Amino acid sequence: MISNALGHLMNHAYKLGNQDCPVFLLDGPEPIVIDSGVTCAAELYAAAIRSVLGTRQPSILFLTHVHWDHCGGAAYLKKAFPAMKIAVSRQGEKILARPNALALIKMLNQAFSAQVHTIPDYASLMLVEEDFQPFDVDILIEDNQVFNLGAGVMMKALATPGHTQDHFSYYLPGPQIMFAGEAAGVNYGLDAVSTEFVSDYDAYLTSLHRLAALPAELLCPGHFQHVMGTDDIAAFFDRSITATLRFKTRVLELLEEESGSIDRVVKRYKAEWYDVIVAPNKQPEVPFLINLRARVAHLAGRAAAPTSRGAAETVD
């Protein structure tokens, strides 16, 4: 089953806020939150968390990565839940120390806030006027690190780079729940899942295969639909891997047709893919173009300096 629905999912897992930039809550003796969404919806997230936990506070906020729409509400949630610690990868902590990165996160959140009145999922909701604020990191995450969430529930942190260098996913082997951020791809409303590598194509494919090999009953990507059931999750990963391979093929075709012009390739691919998506199930245009340009430039550079075909790229 693939669904946009908010609320309780399974085994004390909740999807909260709104379906395009949700946060996830795992209730239990040590409640945790996965990602903090966009800044303007931070009070919406806080209220939804309180509706489940009452007066209890989350113990840890785990960030999948420090893109604007995944860390935007972190500082606000920290104020709402002072006892909560914030966990980030070492690479993420380094990014958050860069003034230019913080400025970009703030700018993209401001741009999104300015347009939310046109988005049904936000227009009638409680929104805050605050700008994105920097926040302190309390816990540095390592690959394969295991967190004890109480009552015998364990969660493993998995380095899944490719979308970004700092990307981590979180997996609970007992209930077989996976919080994949953007390491698994995103369905924006088309039949094919959108590939979401930004920093490294090969690493992204490797991460996809790493996640696809794990048994899962619930897959929670960072945007839009979550997926329930082993068969549907396996099919989702197959579509995501196929979409990634097809994206590379199409971009390389366009680069050849456009004599290597990244600008023209970005324009043509946007027209073929982004412009045909019916709102609101689409990423805002500014970050979409930033990410698309990064992907095209990466593949252009990769084509100019070819390497041996990796095992992760042998999918038919």
The closest of 315, 65, 88 to 199, measured between CA atoms, is 65
| pLDDT tens sequence across 18-42 | 888 999 999 999 999 999 999 999 9
pLDDT for residue 79:
97
pLDDT for residue 77:
98
Average pLDDT over residues 247-254: 96
Among 110-119, 203-212, 289-298, which stretch is predicted with the lowest mean pLDDT?
A: 110-119
Alpha-carbon span 162 to 312, nearest angstrom:
13
| pLDDT tens sequence across 52-106 | 999 999 999 999 999 999 999 999 999 999 999 999 999 999 999 999 999 999 9
Alpha-carbon span 220 to 270, nearest angstrom:
26
pLDDT for residue 189:
59
pLDDT-derived band of residue 314, with 50, 70 and 90 as boundaries?
Answer: very low
pLDDT for residue 315:
30
For residue 228, CA distances in Å to 10, 34, 38, 234, 236 come to: 9, 18, 25, 10, 10
Alpha-carbon span 45 to 23, nearest angstrom:
7
